[in-house]
Structure 1
Amino acid sequence: MEESLSGTLAIDLGNTNTVVAFQDQKDINSVLVEIPNITSSPGVVPSAVWFEEPSKITKIGISALKMRDNSNSDLFFHSNFKRLIGNSIEKINQKNILNPNECGEKFFQILWANIPQKYEIKRLVLTAPIDTYRGYREWLVNLCEEISVDEIALVDEPTAASLGINVPFGSKIMTLDIGGSTVDMNIVKIEGGEGKSGPIAELLKFKGNDVSSISKQKIRCAEIIGKAGSKIGGKDIDQWIVDYFIPGHNYINNLSKAEKIKCKLSSSVIKYETKYPIKLFTEKNNESEFYLSKEIFEKILIENNFLNHLNSLLKDLLNQARGKFCTVEDLNAIVLVGGGTQIPLIKEWITKKIPKIQIKSPPPIESIALGALAMTPGVKIKDILNKGLSIRLFNKREQKHFWHPIFCKGQTWPTEKPFKLILQASKNNQKIFEIVIGETQKERAYDVIFENGLPKLSEIQNEEEIIKWGKKPLKIVLKNKSNIGEDTLKLFFKITKNADLLVKCFDVKDEFFGEYNLGNIY
């Protein structure tokens, strides 16, 4: 009897491929889920639906792809529907029987029903695009009513992708995604950093109940700084390969063969000049053998203006970013997503265009689904701070104390990562440091006044008011004296599940001074 696995399932619905990954609650590693007659490879489901009327036959994934040559495929075969869900701008193919929302529902229903029984799903994690997020989330909330699982969480795609490459919260990253039918470039800023709240997953369902409208835990999406894209992708590259040898032929079988050799030539271990055979159907369904090398493959891409097209998209993207005061130098990383980015010529192109920024190349297809799993190992309804917490510091230039935020109002707790702060000596020969904590008593107010019956913001705003805790301040005694302006202490603050504010103290040479409980936040 097959062993049952209990844990979290992640589904990343893509425009070309959907990825299904599972993480057992006792294991840190993830597995890609294989489903007979649906997945094209472990964990990868072609985002395609065949829905036939009047029989109501529904097929998805690889089974749907096999039907696309049948008669009435313009009515019954559906693909490229993901980008249209929640998107009121793009036009919908009126010939198809199903609209994009209905396609997505059929796809999810069949996929969910066919998850192998050995997986006991305690939590489902779904991903959402940020450019059509609101409409897409609304569609998912309705969809989740039909899914029988206790917990359902939602993460945004760029944040999930960023977790797979381990960039710090608050980073600005550029993503280049070349999928089967689209090229997408975007620059986003990941939530968090500099004392701000980090990204969290949003709970749509908890303990079997819909909490999408009442949960304290609201998703914090990445911020779009710029985006550019086009409806050109891997499928077009496959067609260019076929046209290079036999112009004008459109056999589906030829395109699948072109895709296989394209993937082979995308390997870094393949030599540049070596030619590989490809058998293609010609006139009267006869097969002829041709030969393709990396050299010829790159020639095909260049002759079809693919690099020029990428140059144009990149130029538009960077112009948008500059309009929001973001330059190339501000980027923390460039992330390559989608199978098309594995083509060596494409990697070489982006490396030459933006040479000083680190290129990250996680598993191209499954990276977002795996990032979603990494983001939600223990998703639960966390409490939210209803007031900010600050530490009192000394400003040596102005010769006065001020409050520096540690945790902001609205952050979730218990905290997942500690907040780090480096303290400097505020006077010469300083040996004692006092850790004084305060909490926000009154938020900064933006007063509205009326002049001649019209509302205006007053020129002078009320400052936020921070009240010092009544608890006795923590005193840390150094072994050696420190002089004004010198980095002296490293502090790491966190809030525990019992609502205690803890701090770990080290000197600048990483000698541990101890961990202290500064008090309860309630």
Structure 2
Amino acid sequence: MALIGIDLGTTNSLIGVFQDGGPVLIPNAHGSLLTPSVVAVDKDGNVVVGAAAREMALTDPTAAVSSFKRWMGTEKTVEIGKKTFRAEELSALVLRSLMEDFRSQSSETIDEIVISCPAYFNDTQRKATFQAAHLAGLKVDRLINEPTAAILAYGLEVKDDGQFLVLDLGGGTFDVSIMHKFDGVFEIRASSGDNFLGGNDFSDRLGQIMARKAALSFEDLSRGDRVRILRAADKLKIELSMVDEAKFRFPLSGGEIEGHVSRSEFEAACEDLVRRLRHPMERALRDAAIDPSELDAIILVGGATRMPLVRQMVARLFGKFPFTNINPDEVVARGAVIQAALKARDAAVEDVLLTDICPFTLGVGSSRDRPDGQRERIVTPIIHRNAIVPISRSENFTTVSDDQTKVAFPIYQGENLRPEHNVMIGEIEVAVPKGPAGRETISVRFTYDINGALQVEAVVDSNQNRQTAVFANTSGLDEKELARRFEALAAIKLAPRDQQENRELISRAERLYAEALGDDRQVIADGLMRFHAELEDQKIRNLDAVRAEFRRFLDQFDTFVFRED
């Protein structure tokens, strides 16, 4: 029986399985552990996921979409290749691609699947993640917060007890969690974050600098050129993590642009983003009632934490160098696999106990009298954010009108006093005997479990009339709509694994042809024609060798160049 963990990321996604007492990550069709979270539709109407889709985005940005994790749980849709998708459906296609990678290497039946999500995802976003799994045909009972997954992965490596802060900066989201490890127990003390801050925002700033250096307005560029600049900015960002200054040169519509950017110039442009990183850290420390000096280690998670400005900020704020002995791109996936083994009670991890928290305050809509005699609607908290789960808490409420026959309790998630600024996750209603305002008292109890399910019970004290409802992390769509979307998505066939690398190479060759000039164009065209012919030649048995040779051929034309001054 296979125990599966999946890191469903904004920029890249990974899948792993628990084998021989530990997590093992599974490579995709290209031999990489990282599958770009990009979906495209080619000119024949076929859906492509991963590296091939990322290449297609460079030649036809209208045919591909990325960073859709940022709009999980919203009504936003995007049209690519005459097909319209929600973020849940795009995520489902990524999940299907990852599962095909697993099934290509294993015939085991699946026992447990755990998927990671940002700690600061609200109830709506978590339901959307479960919905994505459902649309991919997967049975998933548990999500794990990304920093919690990282803690599990490091926890098996770090033998000493202590207090740890996990800073998780991915492509599109930022999470902070504080954990106390003692006697094999992993206790999450507090979490905070920003669902709209990630490495992509730093790349955007760098792309704007690069455009300005070339006397161009980033906002006025075509969508295709913006995609090319941002792809170049991703590479330049990596280069500037290793050198103080780097040159860039790459093709854009109408010619080639070049220039140089210093690390100090890049960091100056990102000062406000760095300030945004500090606030969730400070909030998590306050909620956990921990002084920075009490932390034993800082753990960095996510590829964007490789930037020197992040590591320098951490060293400056906490007076110690961060802990980075596990690849920050892989640590969440490894932790998700370990959580799957914990859930299945695998003997290899049976001595590990994990406690988690409720990342947002949960409360009910109520009313209160103002000094001017007017009544205003507010949210009364019942379970406060960062409470250790499972947890059960209750509050008493009274009727507010004469002869009231029922009381409705809307249930909210969030930190704002005003109901309209929080996420409403449901409502429960209970009948009460008629009488003067304030006579009837209703006790409302919230019980929140480790799987994110909230049970709400309302009991009328005078007659013990009771109503109970459970708000679980299930799809936000009704069954009919969910079945319709599942059927439509099931009809979409992903390119077979052995064709994904072909598609990626062909898309790359088409991009290089569009960027090239003069004789190089003809050479690339001839090479692409030869590659097509070899793919169709049934006498050729070793297509891996054909692909490897074509990749080497394309490498000589990839003109993106970095040079250190």
- Cα deviation code 1:398-452 (max 9, x no counterpart): xxxxxxxxxxxxxx9x951599xxxxxxxxxxxxxxxxxxxxxxxx99999x9x9
Partner of 2:207: 239
Identity %: 18
Aligned to 1:470: none
What is the deviation of 1:80?
Answer: 1.8
Give the equivalent residue in structure 2 for 1:367: 331
Structure 1's unaligned 5+ residue stretches are: 1-5, 200-221, 383-411, 420-443, 458-522
Is the contact made by 1:51 and 1:57 (CA closer than 8 Å) also made in structure 2?
A: yes
- Aligned to 1:127, the other structure's residue is in SS state strand
Partner residue of 2:237 out of 255, 262, 281: 262
Higher helix share: 2
3-state SS in 2 of match to 1:236: helix
| Distance in 1, Cα, partners of 2:232 & 2:353 | 51
**1:100 equivalent in structure 2:** 87
Q: 1:35 to 1:152 in 2, by over 3 A?
A: farther
Of 147, 151, 154, the match for 1:165: 154
Q: Check 1:29–1:77 CA distance in 2 against 1; reply closer, same or farther (3 A cut).
A: closer
The total of aligned residue pairs comes to 350
Structure 2: gaps of 5 or more residues: 355-391, 399-437, 444-565
Once the two structures are superposed, the pairs formed by residues 118-517 of structure 1 within 5 Å of their partners are 118-123=105-110, 124-132=113-121, 134-142=123-131, 144=133, 154-166=143-155, 173-180=164-171, 182=172, 184-189=174-179, 222=188, 224-228=190-194, 230-231=196-197, 233-234=199-200, 235-240=203-208, 242-243=210-211, 245-248=213-216, 251=225, 252-267=227-242, 272=244, 278-281=248-251, 284-286=254-256, 290=259, 292=260, 296-304=261-269, 306-315=270-279, 317-319=281-283, 321-322=285-286, 325-356=289-320, 359-360=323-324, 362-377=326-341, 379-380=343-344, 416-417=351-352, 453=439, 455=441
How far 1:368 moved relative to its partner? Answer: 0.3
Residues 297 and 323, structure 2, Cα contact 8 Å, conserved in 1: yes
What amino acid does structure 1 have at the position aligned with 2:76? I
Q: How far off is 1:374 after superposition?
A: 3.2
Contact 2:176 2:191 in 1 (8 A): yes
- The farther-off stretch of 368-377 and 312-321 is 312-321
TM-score by length of 1: 0.54
- 2: CA distance between counterparts of 1:30 and 1:328? 34
Aligned-partner residue type, residue 278 of structure 1: F
Q: RMSD value over aligned CA atoms?
A: 4.5
Q: TM-score, structure 2 length as denominator?
A: 0.51
Deviations 1:306-344 (A, max 9, x none): 134312441464156436644424544322222221122
Q: Which residue of 2 aligns with 1:15?
A: 10
Q: State the match for 2:516 in structure 1.
A: none
2-side partners of 1:445 and 1:377: how far apart?
30
Q: Secondary structure at the match of 2:351?
A: coil
The offset of 1:120, in angstroms, is 3.2
Q: Is the 1:170–1:189 contact (alpha carbons within 8 Å) kept by the matching residues of 2?
A: no
2:271 & 2:393 partners in 1: Cα distance? Answer: 52
Q: Are 1:35 and 2:29 counterparts?
A: yes
Deviations 1:190-211, CA, capped at 9 Å, x for gaps: 6x8589x757xxxxxxxxxxxx
Cα 1:185–1:115, aligned 2, differ >3 Å: closer, same or farther? closer
CA–CA separation in structure 1 for the residues paired with 2:214 and 2:233: 12
Q: Is the 8 A contact 1:14 1:47 kept in 2?
A: yes
Taking the aligned partners of 1:447 and 1:142, their CA distance within structure 2 comes to: 32
Question: SS of the residue aligned with 1:66?
Answer: helix
Q: How far apart are residue 239 of structure 1 and its match? A: 0.9
Higher relative contact order (CA 8 A, sep 6+): 2
The letter of the residue matching 1:243 is: A
Q: Secondary structure at the match of 1:262?
A: helix
In the other structure, the counterpart of 1:218 is none
